[in-house]
Amino acid sequence: MIRHILTCLLCVTSVTSTLFFSLQAALAEDKIPATSFTELKQPVFKRLNLFGGKIIPPKTKVQGYSLNDVAQAIAYFSTSRNNLAFLPHTPFQILYIQDFSNNTATFTVPPGTILFVPIGYITDSPPVIGNFPTTFEQAANYVFDSQQISGKFEIVVNGVKTTINDPRYIGGPVFAPGLLDGGGSHFLQVGVFLTPLSPGEHTISGQFSATGNAVIDTLGQAFSSGFTYKVIVKGN
């Protein structure tokens, strides 16, 4: 079953955005491996100028979590339509819809908070769409191929839009038996980690659409959903 879930940032084609590479350059200059974004504290973000909701490279482990780890942690929460009883405890803030009548939410976070923004997810709960993958390699084709999902993922931070079309931002498929959207057992999602936002009020929004042949064959039509979040970062 295909569902929408959340949001956020910039203007990336095959991950070629200025902000993405400025983050890579900052990490390199400070001799911090891009694959170990684990214990960066607020003073480090300030010194490296990493505020602003920049997309963190997809293979980076953030505070001990890979994108696969987040998919595993969030599977039951997402498929429950964001029932807080299933919200995982993580060292970063997961953004999620609180009001499904207009797909919005408001979050207040302390300075230095890393954000995780799920953009869209797919499960093998019935009706199963297309040839649901069992490996990451299969997932890349499944999510983006026109014969399968043909997913389009956009994320916007404070008016700056990014198209996420790099399969490395797929988490999963992970094994999660008894999913709450119909009893499936495998979950995958597209999502991004963002560096902390500066103090003040921010808007994060986005869009997930699925227009592939398998979607239309199964659901009778293409799928699309948007979302908007307000994120308030407390002052120092």
Domain ranges of the chain: 2-233
Residue 116 has a pLDDT of 97
pLDDT for res 41: 54
pTM over 0.85: no
- Give the H/E segment covering residue 44: helix 42-48
Q: What does the buried/exposed string (b/e) look like for 166-187 if buried means 16 or more CB atoms within 10 Å of the residue's CB? A: bbebbbbbbebeebbbeebebb
Q: Note the pLDDT of residue 40.
A: 53
pLDDT recorded at residue 45: 53
Q: What is the pLDDT of residue 51?
A: 60
Q: What is the mean pLDDT of each run of 10 residues along the chain (236 residues)?
A: 38 34 50 51 54 87 95 98 98 97 97 95 97 96 98 94 96 98 98 95 96 98 96 87
The answer to whether the CB of 192 falls within 8 A of the CB of 17 is no
Q: CA of 49: how far to CAs of 21, 33, 97, 117, 195, in Å? A: 13, 16, 29, 21, 10
How much is the pLDDT for 27? 54
- Both tokens of 100, joined, read 């499904």
Torsion of the alpha carbons at 78, 148, 172 and 202, rounded to the nearest 10 = -50
Structural tokens at position 127: 């009706």
Amino acid at 93: Q
